[in-house]
Amino acid sequence: MKLIVGLGNPGREYRETRHNVGFMVVEEIARRYALSWAQAPAQVPDAFIAKRFGTEPVLLAKPLTYMNLSGDAVAALMRYFDVPAEDALIVVDEADLPFGKLRARASGSAGGHNGLKSIIERLGTTEFSRLRLGVGRGDDGRKLSDHVLSIFERSQRAELESFIAKAADAAEMFAAEGILKVMNTYNPEAAPSETD
C-alpha cells in the first residue's frame, strides 16, 4: 500500500491558507476518484483517510493534529496500515520555493518545516518521500508564520487550481511509478544544486 499524506491545519480559518496546500492536494486526488473522507480507525487518532484500490492500493490521509504534531498521526497511520517509510509521500508547503514550483525528494532533512520535523522525530528516520509545494516567502518585513497562515494573493488564486492539479498528478505518479520518476519529471532544473 502507498500512503499519501497531505499536511495542513484543521479548521475553517486555515482552509485556504498557504500552509494547507498539502490538504488541498489529497482532497483533489479524492475528488478525482469520488472518494469519501472518513475518520481513521480508533488506533489512529486525529486523522481523516480515504482509500482507493487499484493495481496498488493507495491510502490518502489528512492529519488533524495541527502541523507541528503531524508526526503523531503519520506514525500511527504507518503502524496501523503497515506502510514502510519508503512507501509514504508527505505533501507540504515550501516557503523557499517560488509559488507554483514543485520539488520532490526521496529523503532528507526537515528543511525548517515543523510538520516534517515532527514526522522525522516520530518515525526516527528521514527516509520517506516528500513533495514540497512552493508558496514563496512573502514580503521581507512580514513574519514567515504570518505569510504561510494567510490566504493566497488574488493573482495567485487564479493559478492555484492548476498548481494543485499538477501536484496531485505528481503524487499519483509517486503511487504508480515511485519517487525517482516524480523527481525526474517535476523538479526544477536547478534542483540538483539545492539542498533539502
Catalytic positions? 19
Edge-to-edge order in the sheet of strand 38-39: 38-39, 47-52, 58-63, 2-6, 88-94, 129-134, 102-105
8 closest CA partner among 82, 85, 68, 54 = 68
Q: Which residues are CB-contacts of 69 (< 8 A; sequence separation ≥ 6)?
A: 63, 118
**CA angle, 50 then 119 then 57, to 5°:** 30
